[in-house]
Structure 1
Amino acid sequence: MNHWLIAPILIPLIGGFLQVFMGYAPLRLRRTLGLITTGLLLASTIILLMMAADGSYRVYAFGNWAPPFGIVMVLDRLAALMLFMTALLGLFSHLYSMGRTDVDSRQFHALFLFQLMGLNIAFLTGDLFNLFVAFEVLLIASYGLLLHGDGKQRTIPGLHYVVLNLIGSAMFLVAVGMIYSVTGTLNMADLAVTIPTLAADKLPLVEAGGMILLVVFALKAALIPLTFWLPKAYAAATAPVAALFAVMTKVGVYAIIRVYTLIFGENAGALAHLGMDWIFPLALLTIVLGMIGMIGSAGLRTLVAWQVVVSVGTILAAFSLLNEAGLSAALFYLVHTTWVAAGLFLVVDMIAAQRGSATDKIVTAPRMPNRTFISVMFMLGAVSATGLPPLSGFFAKLLIMNAATPGVAMAALWAVILLSGFISLVAYSRAGSIVFWRNVEGHINNPEKLTFPHTVGAGALIAMSIAIVVAAGPLSDYTDATAEQLRDASAYTSILDARMVGEDES
């Protein structure tokens, strides 16, 4: 077996355990260990990304139990892309936390690394029950991270977040129990083979389980009507936590893409494309709701949180077109929006730290120090998020619109995406003009100075909008190949061949 497959799990696991036992060690030592861990994690995901680029499926079977028995990790292009995207986001968010956020709790670095571990398990697992386990690992860590700090502003949104996710976890267990009771397996490849062969009298229970799973994943992704927990929770979180949470909704999106192209994809017989006729209209409504939220935002953090909602709707609208071009465009947009939204959360925190009592509120205040540098970063992030040329958002949205085939769906998609870009532009322009240019007389007491970790952490993620443009060709080729691989469920189910266990390549 290729042991590189478990590196994204073992690295943050070991680093997190070391952080737990080093709670009273000097803060500088804990920070150094944290950065080394996230740096090694990024390096391991780059190796996996290069390995997956050849289109092969690689399997790691714990205890050498061949699929569908035991716990298996599966690496393909989609998993490698999600791992790399998360590791890069984790490195710069972790760097940004140093100097202010990590001072408040001895266990911040441990929770941060355990969250990365849970995310990586979710992307690698080839089993529905282990996907549930991954959700629980990352959610338990996220509870601690969301409540990191003090004050009522975090406690109430954090409580809502915890309760909703506990309900979602219970529904997840019910769904997998229903599916297992009929199929006798929860291995994704085995389910993809078994479900098309089920007798007609057994399909209703599997269909019900599949629809419950879709609701659970929609809750994780914040798809309407399961959206309203997100803006307050993300706006209340500390900046590096909110930045890392930019990928949390994408876990729900990933689960929808994985399960409803593989298990309930076009080869699933009577259950083909289960629930997908609901996704497209709900995705468009999610974009509309996000637009309304952006226009009505009273603070920059809330504005960016609603931008995350818009991005979820955009990704799922592209995915629900049910063609390779739409899936490829959705993945391209997913990478773009995750990094840019995370970068904007960090930039907004830099703004709040320099505006005194005005913090991130969209109100007039005395001129902040370092206004030019921060305003440029905010402008780049806003331009990319709204989809204006020449940054990555423009190319991502163009790919999505080009993926739609002529008809009513195409007209609706184009109208909503173009309108969302315009409304986002209005919202960001309004916020930027008030915060940066409509200054009043006065003095800001004790504004925080820009530090190296803050500048590099935020700047690097915002710069990803430029890097994606530079690498648009290779990235687009990769997402095209990923979409093609995802739609060929027979290739994934070949991991059931026991001969693959112990080999590096399929």
Structure 2
Amino acid sequence: MSQVIVAPLLLPLLAAVLLLLTRRRIAIAVRRRISIAATLLTLGAVVWLALGVTESGIQVYQVGDWPAPYGISLVADRLSVWMLLITALLACCALLYAVQGTDRAGRHFHPLFQLLLFGLNGAFLTGDVFNLFVFFEVLLLASYGLLLHGGGPDRVRAGLHFVVLNLAGSTLFLFAAGTLYGVLGTLNMADLAVKVAATPPADLGLVRAAGLLLFTVFALKAALVPLYLWLPAAYSSTSAPVAALFAIMTKVGAYAILRVETLIFGDDAGLVAHLIEPFLLPLALLTVAVAVLGVLSAPGLRRQTAYLVVLSVGTLLTAFALGTGPGIAAGLYYLAHSTFAAAAMFLLADVIARGRGELADRLDPGPVIPAAPLVGGVFFVLAALIAGLPPLSGFLGKWMLLQAALEHPAAPWVLGVVLTASFGTIVALARSGSLLFYRAEGSAAIGDLGAATATYAGADWPRLAPVLGLVGLCLVLVFAAGPVTRFTAATAADLLAPARYIEAVLPAPAEA
């Protein structure tokens, strides 16, 4: 079973290489088939791996058969396969939207798309801090190209900010990794967890500094306040399928924060235990507060959705910051919901923009778009999902978060900020829906069932299908809430017992 771990890496990598080598020789239709086949095969490999981890526990693959901590370790635990599954499902929907014509804007869309999947999957599977840096760089290089796909001054401007800030983050990452290696002599995460706990007092300052540098880098990737300013412009300027796939990229930073905080700086880390705990919850709540102001003031639907991504990151890290099993489990459930819902809204915003001519996605009254009743209905469901109205997945995620927060000393702050932000989101999305649909010219036809039925035939079904697929995934989280929450609870339990991870990667005790 351990060999299956490399499949989510090899499949997109080989597809990217094949697409690059044949970029001038095969037609776009063939390139699309190769990309779709590789993505579906990756999804199948991820499902197989997830079943194996669920049944048999943590799976480890030592590249080159070099034992840890000397070689490269790939580790699949419940958290890894959860992130892989979300990424693979999201990638399928984003790619199905892209092949409707977006991919024609540049020759290298499909190789870059597969390389981004390679980087994302590698970041979730690696058991080594340096290789986490390597996979970060792969996914960032691919994201630079995808962000600029199609060109235009807005994308170039947003891409410049994106590149500069992430290059600065990469530099800090190298400083942090170099400091940890210089002090502890290892970058294997399991070995770091052992050696950090035994750090001599003279080296504690350097270990703390390196840990806080890592947190800064991951906070930048996750778009945590005050390091979020690059995201709204970047996500709202790029093409719809790219923005949809980017919905998982901020979650890479959140994943890294959770992994490092529970494994390396967890309960057993001695004098550096819970290193970032004093900072994470205040910054997460501040992110929620700032993001909801952006959601309320956004001039366009795509910019509003970008701020909704920032809002979801703040809510997710609020759950992780509680540091308890129920809090982490709630965050992992909310992570899947928020990723699918935000991606669906990015795709739907593009469908709406295509039907409004020069107004595009601006939140101003305009002409009735084709199939307005259908598109408006999908928007309403998505708005209810994102705002957290019962009984949908957004409500379940936030309800579990608030339940977990009741025993925390900062419970009044968590409840006050999260509930206020939810109300602000409802107001903002209700206003957006009213401006886009009910105040449109001739919008009275929306309430006419006969006219509504007639417009369905004119709907852009190839583009609406991926949107409906993502909405369907959110509904699956509702109907399968029992099994999903049991899985996230088991994942949280594993994270809070890091000895299981360490024993799986380092079968014999590491030498001091």
TM-score (norm 2): 0.95
Q: CA deviation at 1:198?
A: 1.3
Q: Which deviations, in whole Å up to 9, do the C-alpha atoms of 1:318-366 show, x marking residues without a partner?
A: 1111111101111010011001100110011100011111100000111
What per-residue deviation string (whole Å, max 9, x for no partner) do you get for residues 184-206 of structure 1? 00000000011111110011101
Cα deviation, residue 316, structure 1: 0.6
Is the CA contact (8 Å cut-off) linking 1:367 and 1:440 kept in structure 2?
A: yes
Q: CA deviation at 1:295?
A: 0.6
**TM-superposed deviation, 1:384:** 0.5
Matches within 5 A, 1:298-313: 298-313=299-314
Corresponding residue for residue 501 of structure 2: 492
**What's 2:468 paired with?**
459
CA–CA distance in structure 2, aligned partners of residues 428 and 72 of structure 1 = 45
Equivalents in 2 of 1:469, 1:341: separation in Å? 17
Opposite residue 69 of structure 1, the aligned amino acid is Y
**Where does residue 241 of structure 1 map in the other structure?**
242
SS at match of 2:342: helix
The aligned residue for residue 125 of structure 1 is 126
How far is the alpha carbon of 1:495 from its aligned partner?
2.7
Structure scoring higher RCO (CA < 8 A, sep ≥ 6) equals: 1
Cα offset for 1:407? 5.6
CA–CA distance in structure 2, aligned partners of residues 150 and 199 of structure 1: 53
Q: Spell out, residue by residue over 1:257-312, the C-alpha distance to the aligned partner (whole angstroms, 9 max, x if none).
A: 00110001111000000011111011000000011001100000011100001100
Aligned position for 2:269: 268
Q: CA separation in 1, counterparts of 2:498 and 2:507?
A: 18
* Distance apart, 1:498 and its partner CA: 4.8
Aligned counterpart, 1:470: 479
Alpha-carbon distance between aligned partners in 2 of 1:51 and 1:219, rounded to the nearest angstrom: 33
Q: Cα 1:342–1:420, aligned 2, differ >3 Å: closer, same or farther?
A: same
Give the share of equivalent positions with the same residue, in percent: 45
Q: What residue number does 1:317 align with? A: 318
Aligned-residue offset at 1:155: 0.6
Counterpart of 2:138 in structure 1 is 137
Per-residue deviation, 1:99: 2.0
CA distance in 2, matches of 1:9, 1:456: 27
- Aligned residue number for residue 13 of structure 1: 13
Q: What CA distance in whole angstroms lies between the structure 1 residues aligned with 2:506 and 2:98?
A: 45
Distance 2:295 2:210 in 1: 35
- How large is the RMSD of aligned CA atoms in angstroms? 1.5
What is the deviation of 1:486? 0.5
Map of 1:347 onto structure 2? 348
1:226 aligns to what SS in structure 2? Answer: coil
What CA distance in whole angstroms lies between the structure 1 residues aligned with 2:439 and 2:55?
53
Which residue identity is paired with 2:5?
L
Larger displacement relative to structure 2 (372-381 or 472-481): 372-381
Corresponding residue for 1:100? 101
Query: Does 1:282 pair with 2:283?
Result: yes
**How far apart, in 1, do the equivalents of 2:107 and 2:230 lie?**
28
Q: Is contact 1:66-1:498 (8 Å) kept?
A: no
SS of the aligned residue for 1:475 comes to helix
Question: Whole-Å Cα distance in 2 between the matches of residues 61 and 407 of structure 1?
Answer: 40
Letter in 2 for 1:125: T
Structure 2 vs 1, CA of residues 329 and 111 (structure 1 numbering), >3 Å: closer, same or farther?
A: same
Q: Residue type of the partner of 1:386? A: A
- Secondary structure, counterpart of 2:61 in structure 1: strand
1:453 deviation in Å? 3.4
CA distance in 2, matches of 1:35, 1:89: 13
Tell me by how many angstroms 1:53 deviates: 1.1
AA aligned opposite 1:224? V
**Aligned counterparts of 1:319 and 1:409: Cα–Cα separation in 2:** 14
**Are the counterparts in 1 of residues 191 and 506 from structure 2 also a CA contact under 8 Å?**
no
Question: Do the aligned partners of 2:322 and 2:408 also contact (CA within 8 Å) in 1?
Answer: no
Q: CA deviation at 1:51?
A: 1.1
Secondary structure of residue in 2 paired with 1:54: helix
Matches within 5 A, 1:46-125: 46-54=47-55, 56-125=57-126
Whether contact under 8 Å (1:381, 1:465) holds in the other structure is: no
Which residue of structure 2 lines up, in the alignment, with residue 416 of structure 1? Answer: 417
Mapped partners of 2:409, 2:114: distance in 1: 45
What is the CA-CA distance between 1:123 and the residue it aligns to? Answer: 0.1
> What is the distance in 1 between the residues matched to 2:249 and 2:474?
20
Q: Distance in 1 between matches of 2:362 and 2:395?
A: 28
Displacement of 1:14 after TM fit? Answer: 0.8
Question: 8 Å contact 2:388–2:394 — kept in the other structure?
Answer: yes
Q: Does 1:482 align with 2:482?
A: no
Name the residue aligned to 2:430: 429
Looking at structure 2, the residues matched to 463 and 354 of structure 1 have their Cα atoms a distance apart, in angstroms, of 23
Q: Does 1:148 align with 2:157?
A: no
Q: What one-letter code is carried by the residue in structure 1 that aligns with 2:423? A: F
Describe the superposition over 1:212-243 as per-residue Cα deviations: whole angstroms up to 9, x where unpaired: 00000000000000011111110001000000
Segments ≥4 residues shifted beyond 2 Å: 405-408, 449-453, 495-500
Looking at structure 2, the residues matched to 494 and 388 of structure 1 have their Cα atoms a distance apart, in angstroms, of 42
Partner of 2:453: none
Any unmatched runs of 5+ in structure 1?
443-448, 501-506
Secondary structure of the 2:410 match is: helix
Secondary structure of the 1:72 match is strand
- 8 Å CA contact 2:333–2:397 kept in 1: the answer is yes
Q: Find the aligned partners of 1:403 and 1:55 in 2 and give their Cα distance.
A: 29
The size of the alignment, in residue pairs, is 495
State the distance in 2 between where 1:33 and 1:209 align: 42
Q: Distance in 2 between matches of 1:277 and 1:496?
A: 30
Aligned partner letter, 2:88: A
Q: Is the Cα–Cα contact under 8 Å of residues 59 and 72 in structure 1 kept in the other structure?
A: yes
Deviation at 1:153, TM superposition (A): 0.9
Contact 1:8 / 1:41 at 8 angstroms: preserved in 2? yes
Aligned to 1:445: none
CA contact (8 A) 1:55 1:485 kept: no
- TM-score, with normalisation over the residues of structure 1? 0.96
Q: 1:66–1:91: structure 2 CA closer, same or farther, 3 Å change rule?
A: same
Q: How far apart are the structure 2 equivalents of 1:131 and 1:318?
A: 23
**Aligned AA (1:143):** Y
- Counterpart contact for 1:93–1:240, Cα < 8 Å: yes
Give yes or no for contact 1:391–1:466 (8 Å, CA) kept in 2: yes
